[in-house]
Structure 1
Amino acid sequence: MEKVKLEEEIKELLLRGHEGGYWDYKSDYADCPEDKLMDYICMANNLEGRDAYLIYGVDNDGKIIGIENTSYKRCNTKEINEFLRNKPFAGGYIPSISVDVLLLEGHELDVVTIKNTNKTPYYLTKNYNQTKEKMSKTLKAGAIYTRVNDQNTPRELTANMEHTEYLWRKRFGIDMTPSEKLMKLLEDVGDWSETRWDIDRHSYNIHNPEYQINVLDSQDTYETLSYFYDDERMLYAPLKLNYLTTTLYETELWYMDMGRCLIPKPEHKYDIEHGVYYYYIEKDSLNGKLLPLFAYGKSQCCDRSGREVPVLIFENKKMRTEFENWLEDNLFLKEKYIVDLENSAIFQHIKRKEAKNGKSTCGVLEVAVAFRFYKKWIKQREEI
């Protein structure tokens, strides 16, 4: 599905018929290492603050001519990253790059995606020149190269003060609001102080201690999801994310398996018409960014033995919508899944726990069936 999304974006960029601040048409590969490195650096330092693309196999007007008959060696993700790895990048920060091959109008295109990061500006600490007979190709140490509209910075120059300042401000998150910066800080679990959430209930960002996570007193509660853990007893506690004395976000922390497994509160959806109930977390949401903090760095919910419990994990809302649309088209599988579950000893154990308590309005069967649909969808998605 991600490749489909990329293909749609590349088609749109080709229809524009001109290059821009984050995309460049290439009719063929270059044999010059300085040219390749220059392109990667300029795109990594683009001023749009987004992913950038080198599109190989199109002419200057965006017309598809194909890259399958190139005169030079085509590059894949591994080869480009190996090429970058031994270059003298400041701080050891190397642009993040991937390569996809798209088939359009009967031709192959190589699309090199240069990922948007906060490690800008990317620059070299030593002059780089492998083509000794062409000193004009040299990339200068300390020079900040970027891209303005459809032009790269000339090699003998450096980006102007305004553009250089923008790239440094991006690295340090200076232009972010406290809420935006907190969401960014949550992406690196290792930057938060270690804590025992059942005792200390407090963590702070090591590099920015004004950002803190606080868990309040816990209370008994009940959720259908809890039956999928060894001990169905659970607690919940209000969870606050603060900047200095201001609370930026509030959610809940769930102590599953009587406190042995922690997860931020998932969202849930009940499809009354089709009898499907599921818990889910979108990874780009607040709770999605919090999940690895409580799940030992993983974006997954597991019981104490490491077995996955039925919380559906999506990259974003768009991915969840794709699943829901697929689900509607595949509801004919529901009866088969119910039969499979009824023959499962593990599920029957879960169902007996639910029956003993007699609390469910949306029960474990609906949750388990939705999870079967989800795993089927994920498998098909990975095979595309």
Structure 2
Amino acid sequence: MCFHEVGYHNVSMADIAGAVGITAGALYRHFRDKQSLLDSAVSDSFERLYAVTSAGGGLDAMLTRLAEGTVHGRELGLLWEREARHLPAANQQVLRRRFREVNQRLAEGIGEHRAELSAADADLLGWAVLCALGSTAHHTVELDVPVLVAMTSAICAVRLPDAGEAATPPGDTAGLAPVSRREALLAAATRLFGEHGYQSVSMAEIGAAAAIAGPSVYNHFASKTEILLAALNRGTEALWLDLHEVLRVATSHGHALDLLVDGHVRFALRHRQLMGALVTEIGNLPLAERNQVRMAQRELITEWVSLLRAHRPELSQRDAHLRVRGALIVIADVARTPHLVRGPAVAGRLGAVARALLFT
């Protein structure tokens, strides 16, 4: 799937036609343009998900079918998370509604299996299951149905902490603006990239959001790519700093992972747009810079995997990698889902789900 591999804006209809061995003219007889092809790809994937979650047989059977579908087609996670935002607003709304219907089916299955859960709890766990499966689109590690079933079963079985009272997530408070014009531009760009996607934001829009006149933007950043790289480097370095602090104070490998989960949840909730850019926008960098950021992220993941294997030596390298990737994407995706982060005690509940993936 070309969209999954190189991104919507980096592929043409001719590229897609060549990938499937037909002419561009033949492709246009089926799809009027690239948007309609993307819409069809995501819609068809959601229909398959809906069929899987509607087939009955209980929660275990549902999770097995979901795992099997992921092994045979892991690209949906990136298509939905990164590419679907390039569709018209009306199409996105239809897809969101279908996704919520899929999750409703899954949440109902979880609720039937665990009658003590509230509807909100089952909804959160359903989203986490889909996010964990969607995390497989972000890497090429070989997939295995029993491992994916074990991961999703652990999510469905997690004991969530008491809800308490709902609170405004830290990242929603406006606060004060920095005096530095460069920092104001960086903050505005990060927010706009998170809301609209890098490709849909112009330098003029970034300047306007930071209350800086057009040409003055270039006194601080030579290009939009330079702003994106600065944002991604800042986010990656912040996560590295947290890891070093954790390693300094941790008393065991398990304790280190526990602290890392808390730190990652805290970062994701406070910097949701930046976390979104770290997940979805790296592909917009030039090759050399893209490889640099991805290498830093891979090395960070390797630290998590090494800690997990030291804590749970029975896990293979592959299984530990799948669990770490799943936990990180669940945190990142749930943190950027408005109705979930406005729920009660979201940090503790999100941390509990991530720990279930790692420790169960």
Taking structure 1 as the reference length, the TM-score comes to 0.22
More helix by share: 2
TM-score (norm 2): 0.23
Q: Say which structure, 1 or 2, has more relative contact order (CA 8 Å, 6+ apart).
A: 2
Larger Rg: 1
